[in-house]
Structure 1
Amino acid sequence: MGIRLLARELNLSIGTVSRALNNRPDVNDDTRARVKEAARRTGYVPDQSGRSLRKGRTGIVAVVIPTAGAGAQTDGGLFALLEGCRRGLREVELDLVVLFSGPDEDALECLRRIVSRRIADAVIINHTTACDPRLAYLRASGVEHVSLGRSAGCAPESWVDFDFEFAAAESARLFLRAGHRRFALALSEPRMNYEDLLVEAFRGELARQGVPTEAAVVLRTLGARLTAEGRAAFTDAAAPTAVLAGHEGIAAGLYGDLAELGLRVGRDVALVSTSPIVDNRMLSPRLTHFDTDLDAAGAALAERLIAVLPERGVPRRTPPPALIPLRLVTQASHFATAAVAPV
């Protein structure tokens, strides 16, 4: 049923029915309730394409997620976070659409294609890099956006991110208390902005404790597994005895990589992940990690998206950034001490 038939059935003007369905204040409560009940009963659905053309809005927020690399299969918490965001957006009748980019696509070109098609009113940028070119493009294009993750070197943006500096410093303190003096940060390739924050904060904490910053080496991984160079680092006489993994996928991969080298996590090498594993029961010993309130992070993302999308004469706002706290969850993977680690 179209809006004309709905209006005829209710003996109301099309304008009154439209205003009632859009919760306009110039329609009394009884009429609004009658219109909505009739719409529900008849299965009336507004012509979204027509509404979008008239309002210049789609009512959609898009997020682009890679199908390979860090943040794809390895990021179990991302969809839980996006669910929190989706619920927040639905409160103001916005929908969240998830789009995917493949390993054969350039991230910026993928974003340009999406923006050119006018699929969404706003875009969520995630897996940010330093001086992320996507942010510069969106600003220049006038496209509303919020980033999930900071981007060093960019102009101030509206973002939501986790307190990775705390996770890195707390991990360094945990390892130092156990007597470790040789460390590694196992990070992804390509390099993301939050990993630079991890390295800086970890080495900064070492320096505050009087430990040379060069004691912490950076090992890049491919597909969440150690490269040949990374494997060689653990067979060296000065092999790391404690490792901070950039995310849970890398941490899970290290269990197998180290086992192939004759090393056991929690016995020979202490291991901590900056993010939680989806199912910790699959790992033995269980993984010590940092956890967070993903629902709160998703709600913070939705709140900032709503703020940058003006509605009914309410001007656009630039909300402050949101730094989501992390908390350490101790299991057994960090139990290795320098006294029993390989030398």
Structure 2
Amino acid sequence: MSRVLSMSVLRGAALIMFAVIAAAAATSAQLDPAAQRVEDGYAQLETVAMRVSAIEARRDMLEDLETEVSSTEQFNAWRAALRARDDVEYAALVERSRLPARLEEYPGAGGVAAAILDATGDPDLKVILLTGLERLAERGRFPRPYYESLARRHVASESDLDRETREIAESEELEVPGEIADIYLVYAPIAQEMGARRGQDQLIRWLLVDTMANEVDDESRARFLEGVNPIVGRIDDANTRYVIEVFEELGFDQIFEHVPSIAELGIAIIHHGNNLPARRSFLTIIEPLALRGEFDQQRYAVFYDRLAETEGRPQRYGTQDMCVDGERVPYTLEEPAGEVDIRRSEVGLGSIDDYFELIRGQYGGC
């Protein structure tokens, strides 16, 4: 098994990102003002969003690898030390990016703060982030129910890492446990790169959704979308190409066998892309896995529905919304809501009414 991706894939990834940056620079002067704000917010926060998501992907990978070790005590000690290092990095990222101040400028970046909040064990950092999100919620720029949920989970929390673990993390070179070293060395760079790209994917959408809901009226919506859609498209196209190259070089089946979280992360990126043949092809791969309970069934349901919506077909699981009179409602359903709820229960989803209550609370109006 190759320990790294081929140089052609790495060079291709670099050229793709260069093309994205160059194209963005060429068009930025022509953008609608609201679209320009989305692009500016993305440029300011891309690095922190990518790194936070990369760390999350590596952590998910370690969950996959836990079953491969015989000494869970050693593995857990190593993982805890990595988490301590992550906490140091989270604090540095927040400081370098001036994230609390950026939230005031670009409220859509609240998703980045929420992601760090859920990941860090640093109680002081939690207070800083909760304070920033509370201000956004008070302004109506971050969903109040979502903020309250975060606050209940994290307010007055204590560090979940003991002093000894932090000292180990700060003073020693952390050696990967031998039983997983080969797999880790192959897949950790891929997990983090895919995670970083997922961070791009999420950040641009958080900014877009917030800006469109709060700063764009009906008359200017078409011009806003005309400006922002190419930005989103460039990011999605570059990331989709990268994922397809990885899947083709290492094999989706092999990746899914060793580190399913990476395979599922790649599918999440393809899901947002515009490559319809790839989306159709991967649906045929993941559908039988999901229906057997081997692939994340909820991710499959969202993947299926979005492809159906793109192709102009009714959705099966009720995961996609459309805007009607300023309110998010289900996109056209394949069956009556009661039947859809049965299908949803089969893939671990709650009722469609509960789901849309959550969606409206988390994303607000449209």
Answer 1 or 2: higher relative contact order, Cα 8 Å, separation at least 6.
Answer: 2
Taking structure 2 as the reference length, the TM-score comes to: 0.21
More strand by share: 1
More helix by share: 2
User: Larger Cα Rg: Structure 1 or Structure 2?
Assistant: 1
Taking structure 1 as the reference length, the TM-score comes to: 0.22
